[in-house]
Chain A
């Protein structure tokens, strides 16, 4: 059985302040357990960016990963995607470590808005070779065949900021129909023979239903449907939390999963306060790509010395040359692999040299910071310190992450939507030797003659 249970709600001192913060436990039929609030690592093409499966397994505390079907179905239906001919499960296809569970969603997190609107039977997706349609029935079939641990039902998200009068009513109708199709198929089991048996129940993924960003009145029927089928659901998934607390009590007992990008830990704490249980660690990945090392701690009782006059930084930009000889770890006291074995000087060097290892180590560290952060949040709620700890954190840390200064790793087309007239995402890797060198080029000294002489690499010659 896939179940989510709320273990404890946060205690508030004043009856008037309402906190939705709570700790819970998500138990999946295949034996995975996720203590909430917690984070999920989003993947790109099945990998947590920068991490080979052994690094994910050995050096992070990641429990669950979010995988998008759109990353695997490039040229369908003209060409059958290899994944569909694969005899095994999706988790085996991507060599997912045995300790991690897999959440299947139709689209990446965050998803690129597609130019073509959804239809009654299809949603628009972006694969690495371009925009195309994904028939919802294909997604449902894939969800049954690929045996994810959690499957997210398809939401009809309009591709415009403010959907018009005729568009809005379609949203709950389609979302309900698609959810109904998914519930029907997942409960039917993979084959008719298995239906209704224990084996079918064991393979059955937990279903997370979309919670729509609409006022209650505009989605009344959809909400009624959710309430009627609440026993077949395990969680709710959403990108905006605005209407979350309006939902009826029956639905409040489901795991609530926020899949959009958050700006950082402050926003996460606010969302936890509104009852969110699970988050995609998107900002973590953005920080890693920017060469930024996170270092914030929640609720360690360090407010004893009073709140500092100046809020502390949440993170540090490791591109800064002042770290070139700094042999201290990314964060003092951190026990992650990157901090135990390496130092700021190495990470700064790898960033400056554009060596991929820089982002590997930063990703390992940043995910460990998230792991620790959520563990502290759960402990704080459990021990009744939530309100104070949250308040202390809000005062102690700056709200924004540091500005990005350095370049990230090479960008991929499927990660960004071009808006026409854009500059190239990446600098060219090669150039003709007869063209003047750009400012920075691998293997060519950036320093001028005096700099080279100072570095001891060579001396200025008197003649040529």
Chain B
């Protein structure tokens, strides 16, 4: 193989493909798309860097040479998205006062809808008539839906899980109801989401009942099988499995093995972000990513704090979602590179600086830069009194997280993710290392970044 120049010569490339064609018996065009050349220690190596299923193709663009961070491109039925990414949550088919046009202008190409909420309003019959959630909200980009099971357990007081499904008492008339994996799939098929999630048996990670956690893990696997069977449109909608097993790493490993065998187009790590210790959260993510195949997207559910995102990316996760950035915006909290600011506080009443000096979103840019020139003082003036203030701050917060992940991706592609992580924590804590959260320092150490020293140390 060639060792000089940045690309193999056409002859070399051709011979590689011819060889592969003979040995791997794959059609030429398909194979070409799946091959990348990568220089490792001066040698070109041929790597399989892409994988395609019916409704999703996954293209691994780069891997961090220190951590487990990955940059990839995932192409879904409504267009490509770049990973790692944050997905804002448009619970009831609208992102809290923003128009789809505004959400699009922030650079969002994949947002969440909640199956539970859309199942209640507007309901399956309406979704079928309208032609799905994309049509309903005039959103021509991708949508991910959850299974509906989580809200069942978290919002309703009386819910219990049986092998059939989630049982709950109708709050309206008290009659017993049953939500099964089949119901969830049928609803998500009606919604038409580009990524749908299996119904899983969710229990709090903080639950002390080991037996119950184990049961939930095994049940989630069985329910995945039922979901796969009930899924009507695998050619145009992607069903992701959800790894369960609480904080028990052995259970998680067992679950990964079972789930990976089912070969879903993508894999989610579920049951986290429920108030468990951050160190334990990191251990679970690390344990799972270690075993997960390279060429599938990995989605950690319910995570949205900037620090969690940056650490989780280092641990090998690709996708995140959380209502926190949009909810906290409505309470007047701005997410900035220097931490989260509570703009309701009187100290911001006469603070005429932009929401975030480092931010280049529409709201933070000055009038002369074509932005809105919104100040902290103006948000303070509006919070809790006029909804348009929440809309502006929602736009900023969503942009901040989308952009954080875009910058993370750029850093990974440039193989400079460790420096990105150092800079990120440095800015939040004003480079005062004593204030860095211990869990983050420890978790990053396991993947080769020691925030306390200035050099990378291989794990």
CB pair B99 A461 closer than 8 Å = no
Q: Which residues of B contact A463 (CB under 8 A)?
A: 176
Chain A residues near B126: list those with CB within 8 A. 324-325, 345, 349
A263 at the interface (CB under 8 A from B): no
- In the docked arrangement, what's the CA distance between A106 and B374, Å? 24
The answer, yes or no, to whether B231 is at the interface (CB within 8 Å) is no
Closest residue of chain B to A341 (Cβ to Cβ) is B138
Please state if A446 and B382 are interface contacts (CB–CB under 8 Å). Answer: no
Contact stretch, chosen from A45-53, A170-178, A241-249 = A45-53
- The stretch from A214-222, A301-309, A452-460 touching chain B is A452-460
B387 CB–A CB distance under 8 Å:
yes
Q: How far is the CA of A453 from the CA of B180 in the complex (A)?
A: 12
The secondary-structure label for the interface of chain A is loop
Set of chain A residues within 8 Å of B98, measured between Cβ atoms: 357, 360
Quote the shortest CB–CB distance from A351 to chain B (angstroms): 10
Q: Give the residue name and chain of the A residue nearest to B349 (CB).
A: A82
The interface bits of chain B over 185-223 (1 if a CB of A lies within 8 angstroms of the residue's CB, else 0) are 011001000000000000000000000000000000000
Residue-wise, chain A 3-19 has the 8 Å CB interface mask toward B (1 for contact) of 00000000000000000
Residue B41 at the A interface, CB < 8 A?
no
Say whether B445 faces chain A, with CB atoms less than 8 Å apart. no
Q: Interface code A352-386, partner B: CB below 8 Å = 1, 0 otherwise? A: 11011111110000000000000000000000000
Q: Is A430 an interface residue (CB 8 A)?
A: no
CB of A199 within 8 Å of the partner chain: no
Tell whether A457 pairs with B377 under 8 Å between CB atoms, given A54-B102, A98-B367, A444-B155. Answer: no
The smallest beta-carbon distance between A146 and chain B, in angstroms, is: 14
Q: How far is the CA of A361 from the CA of B101 in the complex (A)?
A: 11
**B96:A437 contact, CB within 8 angstroms:** no
B177: which A residues are within 8 A, CB to CB? 449, 452-453, 458-461
Flag if A82 contacts B99 (CB, 8 Å). Answer: no
* Interface 9-mer from B71-79, B164-172, B297-305, B418-426: B164-172
Q: How far is the CA of A236 from the CA of B167 in the complex (A)?
A: 67
Count B-side interface residues using an 8 Å CB cutoff: 73
Q: Which chain A residues border B96 with CB–CB below 8 Å?
A: 355-357
Contact B395 A95 (CB under 8 A): no
Let me know if B125 and A447 touch, CB within 8 A.
no
Known: A327-B130, A346-B136, A454-B125. Contact between A437 and B386, CB under 8 A? no
The listed residue (A45, A54, A349, A361) touching B362 by CB distance below 8 A is: A54
Partner of A456, one of B137, B173, B186, B367: B186
Q: How far is the CB of B323 from chain A (nearest CB, A)?
A: 12
Residues of B within 8 A of A433 (CB): 157
Determine the chain A residues whose CB is within 8 A of the CB of B289 once the complex forms: none
Residue of A nearest to B136 (CB): A346
Of A92, A414, A458, which is within 8 A of B183 by CB? A458
Given contacts A346-B136, A464-B169, contact A455 B120 (CB under 8 A): yes
Q: Is the CB of B130 within 8 A of A345?
A: yes
How far is the CB of A53 from the nearest CB of chain B, in Å?
A: 5
Given A352-B122, A356-B387, the answer on whether A95 and B101 have CB atoms closer than 8 Å is no
- Interface membership of B381, Cβ < 8 A: yes
B25 close to chain A: CB less than 8 A: no
**Given A95-B373, A437-B171, A448-B170, are A455 and B124 also a contact pair (CB < 8 Å)?**
yes
Cβ of B121 under 8 Å from chain A: yes
Contact of B121 among A47, A88, A353 (CB under 8 A): A353
Contact of B151 among A98, A356, A443 (CB under 8 A): A443
Q: Are B155 and A46 in contact (CB under 8 A)?
A: no
Contacting residue for A447 out of B120, B168, B362, CB 8 A: B120
B178 and A448 form a contact (CB under 8 A): no
Neighbour of B375 across the interface among A50, A93, A457, CB < 8 A: A93
Complex interface: chain A residues within 8 A of B123 (CB): 455-457
Judged by a CB distance under 8 angstroms, whether A409 is at the interface is yes
B391 and A360 contacting across the interface, CB-CB below 8 Å: yes
- B330 nearest in chain A by CB position: A356
The answer, among A45, A55, A98, A460, for a CB contact under 8 Å with B176, is A460
Interchain CA distance A446-B395 in the complex, whole Å: 31
A44 within 8 A of B: yes
Task: Pick the most buried of B102, B130, B177: most chain A CB atoms within 10 A of its CB.
Answer: B177
Q: Report yes or no: A353 in contact with B92, Cβ–Cβ below 8 A.
A: yes
Q: State whether the Cβ of B93 lies closer than 8 Å to any Cβ in chain A.
A: yes
CB pair A82–B377 under 8 Å, yes or no, is yes
- Option from B167, B187, B391 in Cβ contact (under 8 Å) with A461: B167
- Interface positions of B from 344 to 392, Cβ below 8 Å from A: 349-350, 352, 362, 367, 372-375, 377-378, 380-382, 385-392
Bound CA–CA A346/B131 (angstroms): 12
List the A side residues contacting B179 at CB < 8 Å.
457-458
Question: Are A92 and B367 CB-contacts (below 8 A) given A345-B136, A349-B93?
Answer: yes
User: Taking the complex as formed, is A445 at the interface, i.e. its CB lies under 8 A from any CB of chain B?
Assistant: yes
Who on chain B is nearest to A47 by CB?
B388
Would A360 and B99 be within 8 Å (CB), given that A82-B349, A346-B136, A455-B125 are in contact?
A: yes
Alpha-carbon distance between A337 and B175 when the two chains are bound, in angstroms? 44
> Do A92 and B373 touch across chains, with their CB atoms under 8 A apart?
yes
The answer to whether B167 and A45 have CB atoms under 8 Å apart is no
A86 to B377, CA, bound (A): 9
Residue B119 is within 8 A (CB to CB) of chain A in the complex: yes
Of A86, A414, A454, A462, the contact of B350 (CB 8 Å cutoff): A86
Q: Is B7 an interface residue (CB 8 A)?
A: no
The verdict on A349 contacting B381 (CB below 8 Å), with A47-B386, A461-B176 known, is: no
Cβ-based interface call for B117 (8 A): yes
In the complex, what residues of A have CB within 8 A of residue B19's CB?
A: none
Taking a contact as CB atoms under 8 Å apart, the answer to whether B350 and A85 are in contact is: yes
Q: 3 tightest A-B contacts by CB?
A: A356-B97, A456-B124, A449-B175
12 contacts between A and B (CB under 8 A): A49-B387, A52-B372, A54-B372, A82-B380, A95-B374, A337-B99, A360-B391, A447-B170, A452-B170, A456-B119, A457-B183, A459-B178
Extra 10 A-B pairs, beta carbons < 8 Å, given A345-B136, A455-B119: A52-B388, A54-B102, A55-B99, A95-B378, A345-B122, A353-B94, A356-B96, A447-B172, A449-B172, A449-B176
List B residues at the A interface (Cβ < 8 Å): 92-102, 116-117, 119-126, 129-130, 135-138, 148, 151, 155-157, 165, 167-173, 175-180, 183, 186-187, 190, 349-350, 352, 362, 367, 372-375, 377-378, 380-382, 385-392, 395
